[in-house]
A and B are shown apart, each in its own frame.
Chain A
Amino acid sequence: MASTETQQAQTHADAPVQLEKTTLEGRNKILGFWLFIGAETVLFACLFGTYLALQQSTVGGPNQGELFSIPLVALATVILLTSSLTSVLGIVGMHQHNVKKTQFWFGVTVLLGLAFLILEIYEFYHYVHEGLGFTSNAFGSSFYTLLGTHGAHVAFGIVWITGLMIQVAKQGLTKVTTPKLYVASLYWHFVDVIWVFIFTVVYLMGKVG
């Protein structure tokens, strides 16, 4: 392995070294995480399938057209997609070995994630008052399960990235911390992509249908 490491360092002599890929452990972590994202995709696909099968089953309760407010959801979408951008800027900072820049942009990412989560909680609270509960009907159950699983992923990501920021503050950008940050940013993008599907399939299609 030592030879490939020096090779990599030589070929990219002018460019900054991508620390996260310099150790086998780091490369394993990144590949493993890509595969894990594959598994998560199946999980969400199943929840999407369940939702699509049950979305008409309102049994007299309020339906999508009555509940959803596109401006609010669009705002949430903009916030979450922006957080994907800021996490990229964090990775750019990481590749420049700039701790300050990395921490700043990941910090912004976490705050945007929190803002999204608050909007989602408000939204759920609103729907429950409109008469759509988790146990009201099959539509409610599948809606909250799909959205809730996504929201739980966002919440987990916030806690995770915050934890990594603490580690970076203590240890700096090292061969150990950089793969973790890289993987966390992959996770964050994945969660955002899932949201794009939710926005399309649940909200836009729900409003039109």
Chain B
Amino acid sequence: MTGGYNKQWLERFRSHWLWDWITTVDHKKIGILYLLGGGFFFIIGGLEAMLIRIQLFFPNNDFMVGREFNELLTMHGTTMIFFVAMPLLFALMNVAVPLQIGARDVAFPFLNSLGFWLFLAGGILMNLGWFFGNAPDAGWTNYVPIAANEYSAGPGIEYYVLGLQISGIGTLIGGLNFLVTIINMRAPGMSFLRMPLFTWTAFVASALILFAFPALTAGLFLVMFERIFGAAFFDVALGGNPVIWQHLFWIFGHPEVYIVILPAFGIMSDVISTFSKKRLFGYNSMVFAVLLIGFLGFMVWAHHMFTVGLGPVPNSIFAIATMAIAVPTGIKVFNWLFTMWGGKIEFTTAMLWAVGFIPTFVLGGVTGVMLASPAADFQFHDSYFVVAHFHYVLIGGTVFGLFSGAYYWWPKMFGHKLNETLGKWHFWLFFIGFHLTFFIQHFIGLFGMPRRHFTYQATDGLTLLNQISTVGAFMMAIGTIVLAINIYISAKKAIPAGNDPWDARTLEWAISSPPPEYNFAQLPRVRAMDAFWHEKMAGNKTMEPAGPLEPIHMPSSTHLPFFMTLGFFISGLGWVFRSLEVGVLGLVMVALVMFTHSFNHDHGYYIPLKDIKSNDPKKGAKA
């Protein structure tokens, strides 16, 4: 064998930039990976949405009908929730949370990397359904018995079950990682009640992930056992009960709604206070509201099941619990308004998204209260009114929040801002397009069009409304293309933005953009809420260090998370095609990698003082 040649080849492989990204455990790089992954699926989910809207442009259109349409809307919903909203929020959390609490790193860098790869593997596995066999087609809620073998033959549902199972593990360990990071790794002086709101919401959302995702795991296992091994959980003839799936799904699914909205609330809070040049109004009540919303999020799952027939008593209890959520949400909305009140407001693109968010989300909230009334829900149920409601919340809330956060933290991530003019074009196209698409859908629903149906009749009087809705969807798509152009152009010019381009308040702006791999050369001492703003007001250009300048310990890069994920992916494919051997083989690979990791004797490395000093841009810190 030509050992020398191989060694060289291996050397080249290891020094390749791709290998660097595959093996990275740096939370900022993992954040960028999440951004890329989530962005990729955003394009796919968006295309699916456009195909749905094209199909509904004319009555009796035959562009995408029957099973194809079912696959489209199932994949659109699943993709947008699991492979777009969550990973993109994880992207911002990875970028901002450790910096906001003054930490060098996250608690579990290995798990952080593993979490990303599992999300990506789950997303890819599910989308393979488009190419091999068929895509999932039972709706994003995967209700049985529609999802049972009898009504949904072929591997479609297996792709759903295993794709979500794999990415779900990734999400769970991601959430766990943030919880431990925030509890154990805050900088000296960073008490819980000095944490920026985004970190607070990331914290509560992570707690929700921790307690909600296992319910999904359990539910998915039941469906998998039923479909692949012939279990009888949902088979009425054998004593099963399909409502069990609905309970498990919504015990997960309702907190999930808050998992994706709370971090958006956090982004809004940080952005609004930064661009109003005021501290957040009612900080403590904001924190309390977040905690309360998180708690109540677990108490309301049956409001998705009012029409199942649980009876008037459960329906009433869940209705009241649901309506109660409007109170803390209202507290938040008023606090945002009061933060802006009398502030020196600067309408950057990030701020535009935040301000646009407020009325949009309030509209979504109001229809939420309407839906929370069981008697009225019997009318709204499974109509476009519901579709309009949750798109107002999920786009008007989460997606607006993500855009706001992206424009806000972009300079911290990449060292340059996104172009503001194009950003405003993006905002107005998307904002107007959004309301055009979904405001009208409230009426489409009230006029009787059921959701998940691939067509309507010319005599229904829904044609014009549907066409307006489709035009709006195209405007949103054009807005998104403007964003893509903006990203490209801004990266091309790459005008350095400096450490603190927004004259912001929190710790992440106290270090260089993009930050060095160790974040803080010396951990900062936090002396007040809005720690960096406090120092700036006291006339200091930087944070006071909490300790001496020392060599910094960092974790080594590792390829094991990638290979562990590969094991899960192979196993998932095995179960999809009902091959016991491949399924087990993949799991054996997972176990082997796990053991390799456990027996691995790698304690990381130290960054020597001279490298930190030469890297540290402290002298020119002020942008």
The residues of A with any CB-CB pair to B shorter than 8 Å are 24, 27-28, 31-32, 35-36, 38-43, 46-47, 49-50, 53-54, 56-59, 134-142, 145, 163, 167, 176, 180
- Asked if residues A53 and B244 are in contact (CB atoms below 8 Å), the reply is yes
Task: Answer yes or no: B477 CB below 8 A from chain A CBs.
Answer: no
Q: Which residue of A24, A58, A59, A142 contacts B233 across the interface (Cβ within 8 Å)?
A: A142
User: Which chain B positions have C-beta within 8 A of A46?
Assistant: 214-215, 218-219, 248, 251
- B248 and A35 contacting across the interface, CB-CB below 8 Å: no
Tell whether, in the assembled complex, residue A54 and residue B231 are in contact, meaning their CB atoms are under 8 Å apart.
no
Chain B residues, CB < 8 A from A137:
232, 238-239
Q: A46-B215, A138-B240 given; name 6 further pairs at CB < 8 Å.
A: A35-B180, A41-B214, A42-B215, A43-B217, A138-B233, A139-B239
With beta carbons under 8 angstroms apart, the residue of B107, B214, B244 that contacts A50 is B244
Residue of A nearest to B591 (CB): A159
What 1/0 flags go to B205-237 for Cβ under 8 Å of A? 000001111110111011001100111110100
- Return chain B residues, CB-CB under 8 Å to A43: 214-215, 217-218
Give the distance in Å from the alpha carbon of A35 to the alpha carbon of B177 in the complex.
10
Nearest chain A CB to B139's CB is how many angstroms away? Answer: 21
Please determine whether A141 and B176 come into contact, CB atoms closer than 8 angstroms. no
- Contacting pair A138 B251 (CB below 8 A): no
The answer for the CA separation of A167 and B597 in the assembled complex, in Å, is 12
CB proximity of A183 to chain B, nearest CB, Å:
12
Q: Across the interface, which residues of A come within 8 angstroms of B595, CB to CB?
A: 163
State whether B238 touches A27 (Cβ < 8 A).
no
User: Is the beta-carbon distance between A59 and B210 smaller than 8 angstroms?
Assistant: no
Contacts of B229 in A (CB 8 A): 134-135
Among B232-284, those with CB < 8 Å from A are 232-233, 235, 238-241, 244, 247-248, 251
Kindly provide the distance from the CB of B181 to the nearest chain A CB, expressed in whole angstroms.
8
Q: Does B184 contact A (CB under 8 A)?
A: yes
Is B183's beta carbon under 8 Å from chain A?
A: yes
Task: Name 5 interchain pairs, CB-CB below 8 A, sorted by A.
Answer: A41-B214, A43-B214, A134-B230, A139-B239, A145-B221
Whether a CB of chain A sits under 8 angstroms from the CB of B459 is: no
Please determine whether A57 and B213 come into contact, CB atoms closer than 8 angstroms.
no
> Chain B interface (Cβ within 8 Å of chain A)?
107-108, 172, 176-177, 179-180, 183-185, 210-215, 217-219, 221-222, 225-226, 229-233, 235, 238-241, 244, 247-248, 251, 595, 598-599, 603
B136 to chain A minimum Cβ distance, whole angstroms, is 22
**Roughly how many angstroms separate A145 CA and B247 CA in the complex, as a whole number?**
17
> What 3 A-B pairs have minimum CB-CB distances, sorted nearest first?
A57-B239, A46-B218, A138-B239
CB < 8 Å neighbour of B598 from A27, A56, A135, A167: A167
Contacts of B598 in A (CB 8 A): 163, 167, 180
Q: Which residue of A lies closest to B239 (CB)?
A: A57
Q: Is the CB of B211 within 8 A of A39?
A: yes
Least distance between B62 CB and chain A CB atoms (Å): 41
The answer on a CB contact under 8 Å between B211 and A54 is no
Given contacts A31-B183, A57-B239, is CB(A135)–CB(B214) below 8 Å? no
With A24-B184, A138-B240 as known contacts, state yes or no: A47 contacts B218, CB within 8 Å: yes
Are B180 and A31 within 8 A (Cβ)?
yes
A197 to B565, CA, bound (A): 33
Report A23 CB to chain B, min CB distance, Å: 10
Contact B247 A49, beta carbon cutoff 8 Å: yes
Who on chain A is nearest to B247 by CB? A49
Give the chain B neighbours of A145 by CB distance below 8 A. 221-222, 225, 231, 233
Q: Whole-angstrom distance between the alpha carbons of A167 and B215 in the complex? A: 34
| A38 touching B238 in the complex, CB below 8 Å, given contacts A142-B233, A145-B221 | no
Contact at B213–A54, with CB atoms within 8 Å?
no
- What are the residues of chain A within 8 A of B213 when measuring CB–CB? 39
Complex Cα gap A143–B230 (Å): 14
Interface residue from B176, B211, B239 paired with A58 (Cβ < 8 Å): B239
Residue of B nearest to A41 (CB): B214
Given contacts A39-B172, A46-B248, A49-B247, whether A59 and B214 have CB atoms under 8 Å apart is: no
Is A54 touching B176 in the complex (CB atoms < 8 A)?
no
Docked-complex contact B214 and A42, CB < 8 angstroms: yes
* Of the residues B176, B218, B238, B239, contact of A32 by C-beta under 8 Å: B176
Residue of B nearest to A144 (CB): B231
Chain A residue with Cβ nearest B215: A46
CA distance in complex: A31, B210 (Å):
13
Q: Which residue of B lies closest to A61 (CB)?
A: B239
CB pair B231 A135 closer than 8 Å: yes
Q: Could you say which of A27, A42, A50 contacts B211, with CB atoms under 8 Å apart?
A: A42
Q: How far, in whole Å, are A139 and B241 apart by their CA atoms in the complex?
A: 11
Chain A residues near B251 (CB-CB < 8 A): 46
Cβ–Cβ < 8 Å partners of A58 in chain B:
239
Bound CA span A40–B235, Å: 27
With a cutoff of 8 Å between Cβ atoms, the chain A residues found around residue B177 in the complex are 32
A39 near B214 (CB under 8 angstroms)?
A: yes
- The answer to whether B108 and A28 have CB atoms under 8 Å apart is yes
Which of A24, A27, A35, A140 is in CB contact (< 8 Å) with B210? A35
Least CB distance, B452 to chain A, in whole angstroms: 27
**Which of A31, A40, A50, A138 interacts with B238 by CB under 8 Å?**
A138
Q: Report if A32-B231 is in contact (Cβ < 8 Å); known contacts: A27-B184, A43-B214.
A: no
Known A-B contacts A135-B232, A167-B599; the reply to A54 vs B239 at CB < 8 A is yes
Q: Are B184 and A28 in contact (CB under 8 A)?
A: yes
Q: Which of A28, A31, A49 has the most CB of B within 10 A?
A: A28
Give Cα A28–Cα B225 distance, bound, in whole angstroms. 35
Complex CA gap A35/B207 in Å reads: 9
Q: Are A53 and B214 in contact (CB under 8 A)?
A: no
Q: Which of A135, A139, A163 has the most CB of B within 10 A?
A: A135
Q: How far is the CA of A136 from the CA of B233 in the complex (A)?
A: 11
Q: Does the CB pair B176–A138 fall under 8 Å?
A: no
Chain B residues with Cβ below 8 Å from A135 are: 229-232
Q: Contacts of B248 on A, CB cut-off 8 Å?
A: 46, 49-50
